[in-house]
Structure 1
Amino acid sequence: MTEQKQAIDPATIDLASKEQMKQWRDQCLENWSFQSHSVPSWLKRRAPEFFRLCHGQTLHGLMQRWLPRLVELESQLVGSTPRLALDQTAATAESDVINPDFLQEHLWGIKPWRKGPWQYNDIHVKSEWNSSIKYKRLQDYGPSFKNKTVLDIGCGNGYYGFRMLGDGAKYVLGVDPAPLFWTQFMSFKHFAKDAAIDMLPIAGEPLETMQLQFDVVLSMGVLYHRRSPLDHIRLLKNCLRKGGEVLLETLVIDDHDQAFLMPDKYYAGMANVWGLPSVGLLK
């Protein structure tokens, strides 16, 4: 018999207690994930496995500052129906009930914003990377997302996932272990509670043995960060349904031979680039 967890009232949380904050984060994950009617049944059945992976993550120090703001954001939006626009350059959410000073302070407190841009009411969040440029290339040359289930490995803060919903995706799941990115994702998700998108703060590797069946699997800007690129490609394949599509975007050597570049220490000033395959080797 499964032990029932007692729900945590955010008003009673000791903000100095890491354990209580971790419990609240885990409760948020379970309350907000896999709730959409668009979640495939085969995926919803695996929810307990995903939650076990998430609960095993340690609590990032800054989460003790970020989580209470997410709680406050949720409380201000209770009973309201925010307006969304996901089919334009800036993923946009609007609400007439949110306190503008609180919203600006919250968004400022969870920077840097790597991917975007975003728009919250009249607050424009300009990201470090203009991700709309890459997304336009996906629209022009990538697979159609219409009525598809999509897995985005290394999704960052979920910008691409929300844009995919704007292009008609049936359901999107993003995974990325960075706590900041999950906090940014949840900040927008609070305006889009019923949107068919979830994000879990975990790495992609544990998904390989779960027998997932997504229509489209994305890996953008991830492969060259992996010490074992072949294992990563195998992961993408194993998360795909038969006949599905993988979209792999990575740094490459413009060569059709079977070449592979392994930098001694840095590549283009980046210390976490482990290898660059040639186009021929990838094929």
Structure 2
Amino acid sequence: MSKLEQTWFNDCYKSLIDSPLSHWLQTLPAQMNDWQRNAKHGEFDKWCRLLNKLPSTYPSFVDLSSSVSVGTENDVDEYTQKQIEGLLKQFMPWRKGPFHLYGIHIDTEWRSDWKWERVAPHIASLKDRNVLDVGCGSGYHMWRMLGEGASKVIGIDPTQLFLIQFHAIKQFISNTDAVADNIHFLPMGIEDMQPLKAFDTVFSMGVLYHRKDPMAFLQQLKDQLRKGGELILETLVVDGDENTVLMAGERYAQMRNVWFLPSTAALSVWLGRLGFENIRVVDINHTTLDEQRATPWMETQSLKDFLDPEDITRTIEGYPAPQRAVIVANKK
């Protein structure tokens, strides 16, 4: 394992000692060692070399409560700003954000801040809570969770470019803000985790519809929560009653890996059957072309290319256009 990766994971292991998550150390180090030997992306070593070229900086401020913003353009000289921007563009596409670094606006495909603004008012306080973000992407929401006062935030996602993007942002925050010691990214899926039954809060946003077995996935989320812990589930849904579930054909909005899109009523039944209580639908929202779009930081096709140009209420395959819901529930 390279020195860089070893540092990332060792910092995580140290944070687990003397915490309610300490029993994770029975399996996690061996899993990360196996990942390093067998699962690394072909570009990963190059990405790590580029990460090492990011300059050390000392921002005048870090804001994680109203955005993810680090410093101003006056904190670095023009050369350093251009160096940072050029290196960060080597990690494209940037899908979840946005991030603001020294006057550089990483305008990501998704306005993840809009999603957070819809979700945040409906969840229990994150202050002093241990939080798991399943399918965390580049970590945008993890930083916002930390900004809400979480004592520890751990994100899991097998996509290695997201791991690199997360650490690019973390490098700039770590120099001046000690809270960065409390946030960690692990390149794994929830199916690889032992049932910890210890997190106070588990987030899963934009993952359920990618799972062939949604019930098994929901059970895996439950297995990470302590008794009374809170699940925040955000996913694609369709209109209908408790018996309504759309199973997409070969593609949904051009995505091959979309399986089941339930109604919110059906999803509530699923959660109840699995042992959740206090189940409530707190938000339903149609994804707009302003919330998901191509940008200079994500230049390939985006939502407008996946909708019927004659009727944007339908996908190009003829299914209902993306509608997303947030459901909050507690483990009995």
- Normalising by structure 1, report the TM-score: 0.82
How far the C-alpha of 1:182 sits from its partner, in A, is 0.4
Q: Distance in 2 between matches of 1:276 and 1:44?
A: 36
Aligned to 1:252: 237
86 and 205 in structure 1: CA distance in 2 versus 1, 3 angstrom threshold:
same
SS in 2 for 1:106: helix
State how 1:192-231 maps to structure 2 within 5 Å.
192-193=173-174, 194=178, 195=180, 196-207=182-193, 209-231=194-216
SS of aligned partner of 1:46: helix
Give yes or no for the alignment of 1:104 onto 2:82: no
Gaps of 5+ in 2: 269-332
Structure 1 residue 269 displacement after superposition: 2.4
CA contact 1:116–1:130 (8 Å) conserved in 2: yes
More strand by share: 2
* Structure 2 partner of 1:23: 2
Residues 266 and 201 of structure 1: is their aligned pair in 2 closer, same or farther, counting only changes over 3 Å? same
1:226, 1:189 → 2: CA distance?
29
The letter of the residue matching 1:146 is K
1:118/1:126 contact within 8 Å kept? yes
Aligned in 2, Cα 1:234/1:40: closer, same or farther, shift over 3 Å? farther
The CA deviation string for residues 180-200 of structure 1, in whole angstroms up to 9 with x for no partner, is 100010011112333211111
Q: 1:64-102: per-residue Cα shift (whole Å, max 9, x none)? A: 2210122233xx428x5773111123x112384783232
Relative to structure 1, the CA distance from residue 257 to residue 48 in structure 2 (aligned partners, 3 Å threshold; closer, same or farther) is closer
- Which position in structure 2 is the counterpart of 1:122? 103
2:45 is matched by which residue type in structure 1?
Q
CA deviations over 1:86-133 (Å, ceiling 9, x no partner) = 1123x1123847832321121111011111110111111110000011
Determine if the alignment matches structure 1 residue 49 to structure 2 residue 30: no
Contact map agreement 1:85 1:92 (CA 8 A) in 2: yes
Q: 1:273 aligns with which of 247, 258, 272?
A: 258
> Which of 146-155 and 135-144 deviates more?
135-144
* Structure 2 length-normalised TM: 0.71
Give the direction of change, closer, same or farther, for the CA distance of 1:81–1:129 in structure 2 (3 Å limit): closer
Change in CA separation of 1:26 and 1:81 when aligned onto 2, cut-off 3 Å: same
Runs of 4+ residues over 6 Å off in structure 1: none
- The equivalent residue for 2:313 is none
**What SS does structure 2 have at the residue aligned with 1:135?**
helix
Q: Measure how far apart 1:154 and its partner are.
A: 0.2
Q: State the distance in 2 between where 1:26 and 1:205 align.
A: 22
Q: For residues 26-73 of structure 1, what are the alpha-carbon distances to aligned partners after superposition, in whole Å with 9 as ceiling and x for unaligned? A: 42333442445x876132442462232233232211112210122233
Alignment-mate amino acid for residue 261 of structure 1: L
Cα distance in structure 2, aligned partners of 1:174 and 1:105: 26
Cα separation, 2, equivalents of 1:48 and 1:82: 40
Q: Which runs of 5+ in 1 are unaligned?
A: 1-21
**SS of aligned partner of 2:222:** helix
Identity across the alignment (%): 38
SS at match of 1:77: coil
In structure 1, distance between residues paired with 2:97 and 2:76: 24
Name the aligned partner's letter for residue 252 of structure 1: V
Match for residue 183 of structure 1 among 160, 164, 180: 164
SS of the residue 1:282 aligns to: helix
Q: Deviations over 1:160-188 (max 9, x none)?
A: 01011112222111000101100010011
The alignment partner of 1:71 has SS state of helix
CA RMSD across the alignment: 2.3
Is 2:219 the partner of 1:242? no
- How far apart are residue 221 of structure 1 and its match? 0.6
Could you report, residue by residue, the CA deviation over 1:215-273 in whole angstroms, capped at 9, with x for unpaired residues? 11111110000010001000111000111110111112222222322122112322110
Q: Following the alignment from structure 1 to structure 2, what is the Cα–Cα distance between the partners of residues 118 and 34?
A: 27
Does structure 1 retain, via aligned residues, the 8 Å contact 2:59–2:70?
Answer: no
Matches within 5 A, 1:27-176: 27-36=6-15, 41-47=19-25, 49-57=27-35, 58-73=39-54, 76-77=55-56, 83-89=61-67, 91-94=68-71, 96=75, 99-176=80-157
Change (3 A) 1:81 1:247: same
